[in-house]
Amino acid sequence: MKKKHMDYFLFISVILISIFGIIMIYSASSIWAEFKYQDAFKYVKQQGLFFIIGILAMLFASKIDLEFLRKKANLILGICFILLVLVLIPGIGTVRNGSRSWFGIGGLGVQPSEFAKLGLIIFASKYLARNQKDMGDIKKGALPIFLVIGIFFVLIMLEPDFGTAMVMALTLIALIFASGLKISFFAKLGVLGLVGIVALIIAAPYRMARIVSFLNPWSDPLGSGYQIIQSLYAIGPGGLLGQGFLNSRQKHFYLPEPQTDFIFSIISEEFGFLGVLIVCGFFFFIFYRMLRIALRSNDLFSKYLAFGLASLLFIQAALNLAVVVGLIPVTGVTLPFFSYGGSSLLISMISVGLVLNVSRRT
């Protein structure tokens, strides 16, 4: 394998988007942080720390031996599995925002589900690369990996963390889709999913109300419609050019925890449609560069790994944006590089690092 430089376009855009993210965390969180901790910089300091660790982690990930990673894939997945089981045990895992998904370490927290996403992608890439020939055969090729995914899905749903479970499932489905599995299988999977949703609605009609309230948030403005209405009140008045940096009104205790899932609302409010185009442009460009690396890779494992990680970032971003603008119901997915959260940023940057690693050895 030839030694090459890593993809600097990808590297630089990730650094830029992360810096923009940190600036927006300051703008979005300062009011809330001042109120809660009497320290407007509380969140931005923590996120800044993770950003620096993230850069180191990204560089480290871009240099490690991918062959080593491939070999240890089973071990990594095993560790992730154990952690996911442990976190469900009260006393070990702590509850935040209604999910028992955290290991509290001092003031910081680690979410094993974040690492599980990574572990599962590495494992799946290895599995697909090894069983490429059998992927035509559903029983032999697809079922075992779906079983593994299913187990992780259930574990994360037990926390419960629907958003992360969805991101993980969709990413793995995209990965298996890329492996060349018959389209008809995915069609059946889609039909099955639809039947499942209908069955869930029939079983518990309140879910219908959820869907209705997503379609018209004003039907329950103080309950299930609250977040999306507050998000629309931020995005709408932003207009084409926005209210200006730091001038968001919705961050003044209207939009709850504006530095997390709904930070994109604040970006839209302060920078308007222009800001939206810039953010979407960044995600498009990063996704495009990552897919380019995947396409150029000669090694099947590396190709799957790069594509899987690209899909992970993009699906998570797209799900978050779709929620924030009201295209799909609220799922609780963070926006990579923007939403406040140490482990989320760390995982995103490690993911990019691994893709950069692939870009070196085409």
Partner 1 sequence: MVKNMFFSTIHERIRFIFIVSVIILIAIIIKVFYIQVFAYDKLSSLAESLWSRELPIKADRGEIVDRNGEVLATNITTVSLVVVPGQIDDAEAVARDLSDILGTDYQDMLKHVTKSTSIERVHPEGRGLDYDIAEKIDALGYDGVYLLKESKRYYPYGTVLSHVLGYVGIDNQGLSGIELYYDEYLTGADGAIKYFSDGKGNKLELTEVYEAPTSGITLELTIDIDLQLAIENELDNAVSKYNPEQAMILAMDPDTGEILAMASRPTFDSNNYQDYTTEIINRNLPIWMTYEPGSTFKIITLSAALEEQTINLFEDTFTDTGSINVDGSTIHCWKVGGHGTQTMLEVVENSCNPGFVKIGQTLGVETLMSYIDAYGFGDKTGIDLNGESTGILFDIDKMGPVELATTSFGQGISVTPIQQVRAVSAAINGGKLYTPYIVGAFLESETDSLIEKIEPEMTREVISEETSSLVRYALESVVANGSGKNAYIENYRVGGKTGTAQKVENGSYLDGNYILSFMGFLPADDPEFVVYVAIDNPKGVTQYGGVVSAPIARNVMLSAIDILDIEPRSDGMAKEYTWLDKKYSILPNVVGMSREEATKTLKNFKIEYSGDGDTVIYMSPNAGYYVAEGETIMLMLG
Q: How far is the CB of 35 from partner 1 (least distance, A)?
A: 8
| Position 311 contacts partner 1 (CB under 8 A) | yes
Among 288, 331, 361, 362, binds partner 1 (CB under 8 A): 288
3-state SS string for 99-142: EEEEEEECCEEECHHHHHHHHHHHHHHHHHHHCHHHHHCHHHHH
Contact 324, 153 (CB under 8 A): no
How far apart CA 30 and CA 113 sit, in angstroms, is 28
- Write out the binding residues for partner 1, residues 231-260 only, by CB under 8 A: 232-240, 247, 249-250, 252-254
Distances (CA, A) of 216 to 20, 321, 325: 32, 18, 13
| Position 318 contacts partner 1 (CB under 8 A) | yes
For partner 1, which stretch binds (CB under 8 A), given 109-117, 161-169, 299-307, 330-338? 299-307
| Position 177 contacts partner 1 (CB under 8 A) | yes
| Position 294 contacts partner 1 (CB under 8 A) | yes
Q: How far is the CB of 266 from partner 1 (least distance, A)?
A: 13
Amino acid at 258: P
Contact 259, 29 (CB under 8 A): yes
3-state SS assignment for residue 225:
coil
| Six token digits for residue 195 | 């039947």
| Position 132 contacts partner 1 (CB under 8 A) | yes
Residues near partner 1 (CB under 8 A), total: 46
Q: Which is nearer to partner 1, 63 or 140 (CB)?
A: 140
| Position 186 contacts partner 1 (CB under 8 A) | no
How far apart CA 172 and CA 175 sit, in angstroms, is 5
- Write out the binding residues for partner 1, residues 21-60 only, by CB under 8 A: 31
**How far is C-alpha 119 from the geometric centre of its chain's CA atoms?**
14
* Phi (first) and psi of residue 94, to 5 degrees: -110, 155
Q: How far is the CB of 63 from partner 1 (least distance, A)?
A: 25
Question: Which residues bind to partner 1, rule: CB under 8 A?
Answer: 31, 132, 174, 177-180, 232-240, 247, 249-250, 252-254, 268, 272-273, 276-277, 280, 283-284, 287-288, 291, 294-295, 300, 303, 307, 311, 314, 318, 321-322, 325-327
